Chain A
Amino acid sequence: AQKVTQAQTEISVVEKEDVTLDCVYETRDTTYYLFWYKQPPSGELVFLIRRNSFDEQNEISGRYSWNFQKSTSSFNFTITASQVVDSAVYFCALGSNDYKLSFGAGTTVTVRA
């Protein structure tokens, strides 16, 4: 069975602080895919990144960066110099070659001005 754990329920920061969201996963598959989605207060789900299990290279996209470590089964997400618009619920998800995604419980990020 696949499982995703986001241990941080809520994180509150002041604007311009960095924030790191933890994601730990469990799977028996050797080929799998990891995702991060953002859910702003408006409610829609926005795709941020997809990473396959064979690519452990870290990725940076603007103020967002992701650290994938197979040795610790983690796929952490960092927002650098946070802004109020980053306030949202962030979900980590795990999938394999069967279309199904298992989501973590989500981390609510609040960025205060």
Chain B
Amino acid sequence: NAGVTQTPKFQVLKTGQSMTLQCAQDMNHEYMSWYRQDPGMGLRLIHYSVGAGITDQGEVPNGYNVSRSTTEDFPLRLLSAAPSQTSVYFCASSYQETGELFFGEGSRLTVL
């Protein structure tokens, strides 16, 4: 019963460093997405994918890259971390475009 698995759960970076947040789901969902959660702003969509090989930008895509080589995995890459990217990141998946999102446990990222 893994569902959506995110790693790492916590990470501290220095400005300018790069890193990848990993996300994997075992529910065979076509749709996957990344959100960031900041105080007072709810969750905002960064990037999403409707299937392997297909990705698109969400509301706040700048500074982030994604790829979807398999149905199961949807990593989020920060190429050059900035303090503004300090946030809690959630990966989610869904079985249909109108269905509920299944979320991972979140990854707390701090950029110094």
Contacts and interface: CB of A to CB of B under 8 A. Distances in A.
B103 to A, nearest CB: 4
Q: Number of contact residues on B: which range applies?
A: 20 to 34
A103 B98 CA distance: 15
B48 interface: yes
Contact of A103 (B42, B50, B94, B105): B42
Interface residues of A, number: 25
B101 A47 contact: yes
A99 B33 contact: yes
Interface of A: 4, 6, 9, 33, 35, 43-45, 47, 50, 52, 91, 93, 95-106
Interface of B: 31, 33, 35, 40-45, 48, 50, 58, 88, 90, 94, 97-103, 105-106
